[in-house]
Structure 1
Amino acid sequence: MTWKPPLSQPSALVLAAGLGLSALIPFTATNSQIASASQKTQLISQRGQKVEITLVSYAVTKAAYEKIIPQFVAKWKREKGQDIVIKQSYGGSGSQTRAVIDGLEADVVALALALDTKKIEQAGLIKPGWEQEAPNNSIVTRSVVALETREGNPKNIKTWSDLAKPGVKVITANPKTSGGARWNFLALWGAIAKNKGSEAQALDFVTKVYRNVPVLPRDAREASDAFYKKGQGDVLLNYENEVILAAQQGKTSPSYTIPQTNISIDGPVAVVDKVVDKRGTRAVSEAFVKFLFTPEAQREFSKVGFRPVNSAVAKEVGKKFPKVGNLYNVQSLGGWNAVQKKFFDDGAIFDKIQSGRR
């Protein structure tokens, strides 16, 4: 089915807060600024009247966190009598992961895929078993893949199978360098393998689709620029939440379709154990993570296009999102470690598909 999101005007948003509802303190910072601040000796006391933590997340969550953070700060002030400053850093999930591993002191990370969180775990910063430390196996945001077409959908692209037709140009990023593109690849694979097709049929279909991919941008942002700014392609594989948020901000007025066989794009959140233990911020960091699963926070995620993981909120906003008849997840494909090895490691299936394109 084809879905057009309701348009709304963006709200004036606050980035971080430290003094309750009556005096919210705006704050933005680059990775380098946050890293520099963490090295200073005059850090706000973590056990006194004020506490400071850092959230590192991927770019498209920013609009939600700008609303969620002041709510949590006010709640903590009411209940604990303590003021909080929550610093934030946003960027591509892969680059944020590297920044944390390289020394950006994040108390909480909320990334685009569990594979990135696993990398931080493997670097010794997060303890194994973090998936069980928060509700819903620590998956705090959810989306699906959308087929975003030119206005009026001149190529009549409605289903996955249309992407393999001759003359259809598909825009997606390189799954070797983009987390979002990995989701796209797995959605293409599952369109066959999770719809009663064999793996041989899935490989044949995905190979045909990538023959229709004229360029492989490095990341999802470059892919969007190729589609919108450079006018390349007939269809863009995109997160549903990105399509909805872009329309709300007046950047696009898109036509898009949500295929009925689709992958659940699950975004995890985790406390960075080594950092919170070093800084004495575990209590507030864990409370913040827990708050992200409350109806209040989940409503804010849904407003910017994410499908709620809270069942009550999901019922409240159900009409906003097209129903997906056959929704599967990464675990049904073997989990991220198996998926990485099978599809994206050097010499794996994606590389073999690329070799056939050349």
Structure 2
Amino acid sequence: MTHPQSKNLEVFRSTKQLFPQLKPASTQTSALLLAAGLSLTSFVPVHAVGTVSKTVPVNQKPQLISQGGKTVEITLVSYAVTKAAYDRIIPKFVAKWKREKGQNVVIKQSYGGSGSQTRAVLDGLEADVVALALALDTKKIEKAGLIQPGWEKKAPNNSIVTHSVVALETRQGNPKKIQNWSDLAKPGVKVITANPKTSGGARWNFLALWGAIAKNGGTEDQALKYVTQVFGNVPVLPKDARESSDVFYNKGQGDVLLNYENEIILAAQQGKGSPSYVVPQVNISIDAPVAVVDKNVNKHGTRQVSEAFVQFLFTPESQREFTKVGFRPVNSTVAKEVQNKFPKISKLYNVQSLGGWDAIQKKFFDDGGIFDRIQSSRR
């Protein structure tokens, strides 16, 4: 039997072949990549020439690429549930760049929980572009000196590339009669949501639960009591939104899945869930940003193509692809086209109305914060 440490070392070495910029002597890097679940299957290189896209085998030794020559290579690091959209968008960008610049583009991709992805970038995963689940994670990369301040103003819509809301999916026929937030606190209702410590999506879920009381006429004490009751009904805490979907759909756990609206729509498209789901009328606007990682693009010589890729994400062409997999578009033209596709929200609040991400992180998710206290009270 292969020793687990030997197997982990082999995985890290293979990952190094795909990402040679990682420092070979950094045991912290290898441990973090493995802890974050960034195995070989997490890295999905897309090598496109003209309008053709193909996956590069992981055992194929990558060639050195001249960033000023016929091929340019960049790395996109994003959170788990965006993969279906980028699978559609990247080939379109590659074709456009080839057509306009006469240059081939190789885009390597890494997907995982937003918090885990952020830590991987901070530890040495040299992303050219980060598209994370919340601005707080992007701010952490900024504070580390990898992204220059003011990145929000370098792309349209303050760099928020998609919207979504929190939705509830029940089992077929909704046997527990779940219709709104209050039903999640009822005895015997098993709620599936990811871990806010590792998942950006789970932080949005947590804030939606909190806001269901605190932003709807209730006090903070009432919100704390309610959220504690809901997490008392949570049997497991998967590491990210995609894994929580797997727990619900494929493993059959739970009565209700608390997740991104777009993830539930995508699951229905893939035959994993029912087209019907509940969108509570008091909800939080899930705003996901995108940014160029300045230090890395300067090092790689990839600023032009990286910035062009970010700008391309806001075009109607890309926004339509985001919409097809369930995201609410930020482009006004596309928003009008699909205005009847998404349920309307009667009371929609945002992060700023809760004090902003710095205050939210300290209050709810830092060590010893409200989430930790809720978990401790369950033991």
The aligned counterpart of 1:322 is: 343
Partner SS for 2:145: coil
Matches within 5 A, 1:224-243: 224-243=245-264
Secondary structure of the equivalent of 2:340? helix
Please name the residue that 1:306 is paired with.
327
1:273 is displaced (CA, Å) by 0.5
Aligned positions of 1:170-185 closer than 5 A: 170-185=191-206
- Alignment-mate amino acid for residue 353 of structure 1: I
Q: Which residue of 2 is the match for residue 340 of structure 1? A: 361
Distance 1:225 1:54, change over 3 A: closer
46, 53, 78: which one aligns with 1:16? 46
Is the Cα–Cα contact under 8 Å of residues 56 and 89 in structure 1 kept in the other structure?
yes
Shift of 1:222: 4.0
Cα deviation per residue 1:33-92 (whole Å; 9 max; x = unaligned)? 89x95xxxx532112232221212222212211221222222223332333222222222
**Residue 320 (structure 1) shift:** 1.4
Find the residue that maps to 2:353 and give its secondary structure: helix
- 2:284 matched to which residue of 1? 263
- Aligned counterparts of 2:247 and 2:303: Cα–Cα separation in 1: 42
Instruction: Kindly indicate whether the alpha-carbon contact (under 8 Å) linking 2:113 and 2:239 is maintained by their aligned counterparts in 1.
Output: no
Q: Name which of 172, 176, 181 aligns with 1:160.
A: 181
CA RMSD of aligned residues (A): 2.2
Partner of 1:189: 210
In structure 1, what residue type is equivalent to 2:55?
A: F
Structure 1 match to 2:237: 216
Indicate if the aligned counterparts of 2:50 and 2:98 stay in contact, CA closer than 8 A.
yes
Aligned CA distance change for structure 1 residues 222 and 44 (closer, same or farther; 3 Å): closer
Contact 2:80/2:240 (<8 A) preserved? no
Residues 212-239 of structure 1 show CA distances to partners (whole Å, capped at 9, x for unaligned) of 2233334334433433344332211111
**2:342 is matched by which residue type in structure 1?**
F
1:146 aligned counterpart, secondary structure: strand
Aligned-pair distance for 1:309? 0.8
Amino acid across the alignment from 2:54: P
Q: Secondary structure at the match of 1:26?
A: strand
* Letter in structure 1 aligned against 2:102: G
1:117-144: CA deviations, max 9, x gaps? 1222222211122111111111112211
Q: Name segments (4+ residues, structure 1) moved above 4 Å.
A: none
Q: 2:64 aligns with which of 22, 43, 58?
A: 43
- Alpha-carbon distance in 2 for matches of 1:25, 1:354: 45
Q: State percent identity of aligned pairs.
A: 79
Q: What is the Cα deviation at residue 190 of structure 1?
A: 0.6
Q: What CA distance in whole angstroms lies between the structure 1 residues aligned with 2:269 and 2:165?
A: 18
- Say if 2:115 and 2:199, in contact at 8 Å, map to a contact too: yes
Is the aligned partner of 1:27 residue 2:55?
yes
Instruction: Find the aligned partners of 2:207 and 2:201 in 1 and give their Cα distance.
Output: 10
The alpha-carbon deviation at position 165 of structure 1 amounts to: 2.0
Distance in 2 of aligned mates of 1:275 and 1:351: 34
**Do the aligned partners of 1:15 and 1:69 also contact (CA within 8 Å) in 2?**
no
User: Alpha-carbon deviations, 1:333-355, whole Å to 9, x = none?
Assistant: 11111101001112211222223
Deviates more, 1:264-273 or 1:56-65: 56-65
Structure 1: how far apart are the matches of 2:339 and 2:172? 26
How much has 1:28 moved relative to structure 2? 5.0
**Secondary structure, in 3 states, of the residue corresponding to 1:258?**
coil
Counterpart secondary structure, 1:257: coil
Shift of 1:246: 1.2
The alpha-carbon deviation at position 191 of structure 1 amounts to 0.7
**Unmatched 5+ residue regions in structure 2?**
1-43
Q: Does 1:114 align with 2:135?
A: yes
Give the Cα separation in 1 of the matches to 2:307 and 2:355: 29
Structure 1 residues 346 and 199, CA gap change in structure 2 (3 angstroms): same
Amino acid aligned to 2:180: T
Counterpart of 2:307 (choices 258, 261, 286) is 286
1:94-152 superposed Cα distances (whole Å, 9 cap, x missing partner): 22222222222211111112222122222221112211111111111221111111110
Bigger relative contact order, structure 1 or 2, given CA contacts below 8 A and separation 6+? 1
Quick check: 1:52 aligned with 2:90? no
TM-score, normalised to structure 1, is 0.87
Select 2:265's aligned residue among 225, 228, 244: 244
Pick closer, same or farther for the CA change 1:267–1:282 going to 2, 3 Å: same
Which residues of structure 1 form unaligned runs of 5+? Answer: 1-13
Equivalence for 1:274:
295
Q: What secondary structure does 2:86 align onto?
A: helix
